Copies of this chain bind each other. A is one copy, B any other.
Amino acid sequence: MKPVNIGILGLGTVGGGTAAVLQENATEISRRLGRDVVITAVCAREEAKAKQICPNAAFERDPLTLVAREDVDVVVELFGGTTAAKDAVLAAIGHGKHIVTANKKLLAEYGNEIFRLAEEKNVMVQFEAAVAGGIPIIKALREGLAANNIKSIAGIINGTSNFILSEMREKGSAFADVLKEAQALGYAEADPTFDIEGHDAGHKITIMSALAFGTPINFNACYLEGISKLDSRDIQYAEELGYRIKLLGITRKTAKGIELRVHPTLIPESRLLANVNGVMNAVRVNADMVGETLYYGAGAGALPTASAVVADIIDIARLIGAERSNRIPHLAFQPEQVREQNLLPMSEITSSYYLRVQAKDEPGTLGKIANLLAHEGVSIEALIQKGVIDKTTAEIVILTHSTVEKNIVSAIFAIEELECVEKPIVMIRMESLHD
């Protein structure tokens, strides 16, 4: 099948990330999509840098020239802002190009106009990356939950603010100090207003509100209150009462009308949203049939955002210019690309382990056990005598570092042979969930 051709507007953080994802995962993407994605043209500030990032793409200085090119099927708008971006997107739609954009401000402020023109011209405008970065929340709202009446959405959708609040809570620091730290780490802009005063979260919750309730986009109606006036004392008091303070975007359908607001919010510490820390994002959706669902992931960053941009490109590529209907394949990859891969037997998997051993409470027992583990190459993270079962028997709990399962199995077998140990030893696998 012939490739789908894209033109990228802007090679900043997200634009560079998009080029990187398309290059790095070209094979995997083609295995799923059944065709290649080719960057045929780019528009950026510096030609030299553009040539470095996309050596095979034509360079265009003028976005309006790029969006008119015949060899561009999809225009990927990653300029940001609402001036050049708006002109380029409207012009591209005018030329019948499909659009992928990560630009929440553009959609929150001019989305109605853009979508109206897109309907007229019968083109698609996709914007997964505009809300919560790499989390496929737009897809969940438009497709996954399409059988539901959505009742409310509450989201941690600004990573900068969430990082600052997480740090204020953990360290008891003042807002101004943590902001400086966030700026040093690159988590906050030199001018952080947009993030910390709730504008960014407001754009995102406004877009989600429209998707949830079937209304036009109405950013002007969104109440915005940021975190800059939060006192760390309130964070501390809230915690003592069992709450965390998070900057939430909230929208809810009530009998009186729709609520649409961004503000610091106390939420009970037992809720999953309360435990979303650092720069991570999460969106909770409550819907009449499915109940509560929650979507968590990276809300910003070059590669996570590009993951969403490229997913949108793939969605469009399935629907356009294909020789046959290019449906989503059953097993995610094109049938001819589904292939057997080596499936590891359990003896070959890698894990860390929890062991509980009942053994005679006598000198030398621990040493013998530790030696047998070491003999199989299993290193110990913790070894704790948990309790005495009766006068002569103690219970020992061991956490191991990561090892291949056959090693721990051999070690357990050897330990069970010790005269001072009672069979069987309890073995439970552990996962750090970091990879």
Interface pair B332/A212, CB less than 8 Å apart: yes
Interface pair B384/A241, CB less than 8 Å apart: yes
B240, B243, B297, B430: the one contacting A291 at CB < 8 Å is B297
Assess whether A110 is interfacial by the CB under 8 Å rule: no
Q: What are 11 sample pairs from A and B whose C-beta atoms fall under 8 A apart?
A: A32-B142, A119-B330, A147-B308, A147-B311, A214-B341, A216-B338, A217-B331, A250-B431, A256-B342, A268-B433, A295-B295
Instruction: Given the known inter-chain contacts A152-B435, A330-B118, A341-B257, please indicate yes or no for A290 contacting B134, CB distance below 8 A.
Output: yes
- Residues of chain B lying within 8 A (CB to CB) of residue A430: 243, 265-267
What separation, in Å, do the CA atoms of A122 and B339 have in the docked complex?
A: 20
Task: Give the segment of A21-29, A67-75, A79-87, A173-181 that binds chain B.
Answer: A21-29
Interface pair B25/A148, CB less than 8 Å apart: yes
B24, B307, B350, B384: the one contacting A290 at CB < 8 Å is B307
What separation, in Å, do the CA atoms of A327 and B126 have in the docked complex?
A: 11
What separation, in Å, do the CA atoms of A231 and B333 have in the docked complex?
A: 41
Write the A108-148 contact mask toward B (1 if CB under 8 angstroms, else 0).
Answer: 00010001101100101100100000111001111111111
Interface pair B304/A289, CB less than 8 Å apart: yes
Task: Give the 10 A-B CB pairs with smallest separation, nearest first.
Answer: A136-B144, A257-B342, A147-B310, A293-B297, A134-B290, A214-B333, A290-B307, A294-B296, A266-B430, A211-B332
Interface pair A257/B214, CB less than 8 Å apart: no
State the Cβ distance, A98 to closest chain B Cβ, in Å. Answer: 10
- Residues of chain B lying within 8 A (CB to CB) of residue A354: 234, 237-238, 243, 266
B143, B307, B335: the one contacting A148 at CB < 8 Å is B307
What separation, in Å, do the CA atoms of A282 and B295 have in the docked complex?
A: 10
What separation, in Å, do the CA atoms of A28 and B339 have in the docked complex?
A: 40
B146, B338, B433: the one contacting A284 at CB < 8 Å is B433
Task: Give the segment of A185-193, A269-277, A409-417 that binds chain B.
Answer: A269-277
Quick one: closest B residue to A386, CB to CB?
A: B237
Assess whether A399 is interfacial by the CB under 8 Å rule: yes
- Residues of chain B lying within 8 A (CB to CB) of residue A330: 111, 115, 118-119, 124-125
What separation, in Å, do the CA atoms of A331 and B216 have in the docked complex?
A: 8
Instruction: Given the known inter-chain contacts A214-B31, A257-B348, A272-B272, please indicate yes or no for A21 contacting B289, CB distance below 8 A.
Output: yes
Tell me the residues in window 200-219 of chain A with beta carbons closer than 8 Å to chain B beta carbons: 210-218
Instruction: Given the known inter-chain contacts A257-B341, A291-B134, please indicate yes or no for A139 contacting B147, CB distance below 8 A.
Output: no
B234, B258, B271: the one contacting A433 at CB < 8 Å is B271
Interface residues of chain A: helix, strand, loop or mixed (majority): mixed
Quick one: closest B residue to A331, CB to CB?
A: B210
Interface pair A32/B382, CB less than 8 Å apart: no
Q: What bracket does the count of chain A residues touching chain B fall in?
A: 35 or more
What separation, in Å, do the CA atoms of A433 and B223 have in the docked complex?
A: 19
B140, B258, B382: the one contacting A136 at CB < 8 Å is B140
Quick one: closest B residue to A139, CB to CB?
A: B144
State the Cβ distance, A332 to closest chain B Cβ, in Å. Answer: 4
Instruction: Given the known inter-chain contacts A25-B288, A234-B428, please indicate yes or no for A294 contacting B297, CB distance below 8 A.
Output: yes
Assess whether A322 is interfacial by the CB under 8 Å rule: no
- Residues of chain B lying within 8 A (CB to CB) of residue A399: 241
- Residues of chain B lying within 8 A (CB to CB) of residue A252: 435
Interface pair B311/A143, CB less than 8 Å apart: yes
Instruction: Given the known inter-chain contacts A284-B433, A327-B124, please indicate yes or no for A341 contacting B134, CB distance below 8 A.
Output: no
- Residues of chain B lying within 8 A (CB to CB) of residue A142: 32, 328-329, 332
What separation, in Å, do the CA atoms of A350 and B330 have in the docked complex?
A: 45
